[in-house]
Structure 1
Amino acid sequence: MFALFAVLFAVLFASQVAAAGLEVAEVRSSLASSSITTDGVVEAVRQTVIAAQVSGAITDLPAKAGDNIQAGQVLTRLDGRAANQQARASQAQVEAARASLQVASKDYERQKQLFSRQYISQAQLDRAEAQFKSATADANSLIAQAGAVQTQSGFYNLTAPYSGRIADVYVSQGDMVTPGKALMAVFDPSALRVTTTLPEAQLARLAHDQSITVEIPALPTAQRLIKVDKFIVLPVTDASTHTVQLRLALPSVSGLAPGMFARLQFPAKALGKDDNVRLYVPAKAVIRRAELYAVYVVNPQGKPMLRQIKPGPVSGSEQEVLAGVSAGEKVLVNPLSAAQSR
């Protein structure tokens, strides 16, 4: 295809035309920015969805979205009257079992004294001991059941797991909820981080001994730029996108909130001497036909030679060239004008 492309432009330039008198420009080289820029999002290190563990109707909902909360503060109350009745019934059964255990214990002690004086047989003592052990097991079982019922009755009052803020409330007072039903979301605003992703190929270029600049455009100008010294690379690569997730802990800054957009600038290091060098030619020097790009390069004999290039992005009046030319080479600035001046 390139051969055909060259033939089409052969009519514009004779292979022996000297470059003298034609406007030429030198391929400019420039050091690329020694940084990697990516976008991220602010999120809370601790963020929790409060969900119901039992069924019931919401009888009290003192918490509202945006409220500040303290650890242990009641956020939601469910109708737990039936559970409270069960707890009282279980406690009564425990008291009855303890009374029976006390009677069995005293009877067992008397039987041991009588046996020591040989007033009763070994069989009678064994029966007393068995009754004592049975009463002990019954009491322990009822105590455990009462503890479970008491614990379950506590599920009807949902409390804050830590001090923080309520992000959202998903229910209203009077709603019927079931186990697993999400009621609200809370987070700790004192510990925030930025999460971003990078292609796995760029990990090797990250400089770990320099500060990272985090820009939060939503903040006031004086607080917008934040310097972070460390970041964590999660040890798992996404198999579909071939990217890795990075996390950066943020210092305490007023106005920060989960969900904010962040722009991150990571210092980068060059893996080779030419890794940060970029080449540019005048944009009007580039000839395009279909998917082919080329420029006329002036050879050492002063003659223009058509050469295919791999273009990069356009920057102002210049075209970045990823492959095809070298720094210092000269290209014809306007091939069509040069053809007309033959």
Structure 2
Amino acid sequence: MLTRSLLFLLSLVIAGGAAAEPPATSLPTTTAEYHSIPREYRLDGVVEAIQRTTVSAQTQGQVEEIRYDVDDYVEKGAVLVKLRGTEHRARVTQAAADLKSATAKLEQTRDEYERIKGLFAKRNVSESQMDETAADLKAAQAAKESAMAQLEQAQEQLSYTEIRAPYSGIVTHRHVELGEMASPGTPIMTGVSLDELRVVVEVPQSLIPAVRSGGDIYVYLPDGERLAVTDVTVFPFADMGSNTFTVRLRLPVGTKALFPGMYVKTGFVTGEQRELVVPQAAVVYRSELTAVYVEDDDGRLALRQIRAGRVIDDGIVVLAGLDEGERVVLDPIAAGRLIKAQAAPATGDHEDD
């Protein structure tokens, strides 16, 4: 019985010594260091379509057919609305007949001119007759040109009865109903193009010199992707109330996931600053806790809460909770398992006691 008690006490001493000197973790670590990173000023911007158009009627006619409605996607050149074109087709027919008559008259006059010209060469007709025939020929040519212009005008007016989309886009408003009478200038449909977008930002006066000097500018998409913007327009005047300048950032053609009216974050680089940075892989997120596993000089691990800043490349800026030179574990999952494994024997001894 005494021997068994001594053995139990000896085992507690051995376990206590093992807990006081934990083995080295051998996990990969890195040192928290200061880096020179761009100083970025973030502002909210609003996405808007560069091409936003209200298509209007260019001739008079009753709305005969409506082929698209709100939220429909329309290809460039597609017929949006068709007006009744009976009267316009009649004018085209009349103009074509007038052109045919003028052409026949011109041919007859030209033949007459050639005949008189031959007689005049033989001195069989007077010079006044020759001049009169030449004038008739010019008049016939002018009549044909006038008839051709009338036909072109009538055809153009007929083409206006088919109101077409000036570019590919989405219909946002429809202003007419079937059977209404449309006149020149009557709004028909409003649409926007999603292929060409821009972001409008109100920039404080203090940042305008950096913007004008060509500093880097970014637009952040909803999925976190960052787009570099090179086509920048700065309004040459400030708002009297807020002393801010309107800046337009043109997005690359075909940018996805953005729609007119959305709010997005923009970043204006105004210089450089030194920030404490750790690799993104070293940061662990548990509910509302943001932390890293820190290894001390004795190889002990501890979970340390930090206040994280923005993400840069493959690193995260640490605003508080960590000092320069401290070692952080690059594999948080392995670090958590190791801490649990080290704590398990101590928990078991307490329960046996």
Shift of 1:155: 0.8
Shift of 1:41: 1.0
Shift of 1:236: 2.6
Which one of 62, 66, 70 corresponds to residue 71 of structure 2?
66
Unaligned runs of 5+ in 2: 1-37, 274-353
- Give the Cα–Cα distance (whole angstroms) in 2 for the partners of residues 211 and 46 of structure 1: 23
Contact 2:229 2:251 survives alignment (8 Å)? no
Task: Give 2:263's aligned amino acid.
Answer: F
Confirm or deny that 1:244 pairs with 2:245. Answer: yes
Q: Would the alpha carbon gap of residues 96 and 124 (structure 1) be closer, same or farther in structure 2, given more than 3 Å must change?
A: same
Residue number in structure 2 paired with 1:199: 204
Task: Give the RMSD, CA atoms, in angstroms.
Answer: 2.3
- Give the Cα–Cα distance (whole angstroms) in 2 for the partners of residues 171 and 264 of structure 1: 39
Shift of 1:201: 3.7
- Secondary structure at the aligned position of 2:271 is classed as coil
Task: Kindly report which structure 2 residues correspond to 1:246-261, keeping only aligned pairs within 5 A, or say none.
Answer: 246-251=247-252, 252-261=254-263
Contact 1:231 1:246 survives alignment (8 Å)? no
Residue number in structure 1 paired with 2:95: 90
Residue number in structure 2 paired with 1:208: 214
Shift of 1:91: 1.2
Q: Would the alpha carbon gap of residues 94 and 231 (structure 1) be closer, same or farther in structure 2, given more than 3 Å must change?
A: closer
- Give the Cα–Cα distance (whole angstroms) in 1 for the partners of residues 143 and 206 of structure 2: 66
- Give the Cα–Cα distance (whole angstroms) in 1 for the partners of residues 99 and 217 of structure 2: 63
Contact 2:235 2:247 survives alignment (8 Å)? no
Task: Give 2:250's aligned amino acid.
Answer: A
More helix by share: 2
Contact 2:68 2:80 survives alignment (8 Å)? yes
Residue number in structure 2 paired with 1:49: 54
Shift of 1:235: 4.3
Task: Give 1:266's aligned amino acid.
Answer: F
Residue number in structure 2 paired with 1:230: 230
Contact 1:35 1:267 survives alignment (8 Å)? yes
Q: Deviations over 1:44-98 (max 9, x none)?
A: 2222211111222211000112222222111111122111111111111111111
Shift of 1:239: 5.6
- Give the Cα–Cα distance (whole angstroms) in 2 for the partners of residues 261 and 127 of structure 1: 76
- Secondary structure at the aligned position of 1:53 is classed as coil
Task: Kindly report which structure 2 residues correspond to 1:89-128, keeping only aligned pairs within 5 A, or say none.
Answer: 89-128=94-133
Task: Give 1:230's aligned amino acid.
Answer: T
Which one of 160, 171, 179 corresponds to residue 174 of structure 1?
179
- Give the Cα–Cα distance (whole angstroms) in 1 for the partners of residues 77 and 210 of structure 2: 46
Residue number in structure 2 paired with 1:129: 134
Contact 1:90 1:145 survives alignment (8 Å)? yes
Which one of 263, 266, 269 corresponds to residue 264 of structure 1?
266
TM-score (norm 1): 0.62
TM-score (norm 2): 0.61
Task: Give 2:269's aligned amino acid.
Answer: P
Q: Deviations over 1:205-243 (max 9, x none)?
A: 44734342x345xx4xxx244322324133431463443
Residue number in structure 1 paired with 2:14: none
- Give the Cα–Cα distance (whole angstroms) in 2 for the partners of residues 51 and 97 of structure 1: 35
- Secondary structure at the aligned position of 2:216 is classed as coil
- Give the Cα–Cα distance (whole angstroms) in 2 for the partners of residues 190 and 180 of structure 1: 27
Contact 1:233 1:244 survives alignment (8 Å)? no
- Secondary structure at the aligned position of 2:264 is classed as strand
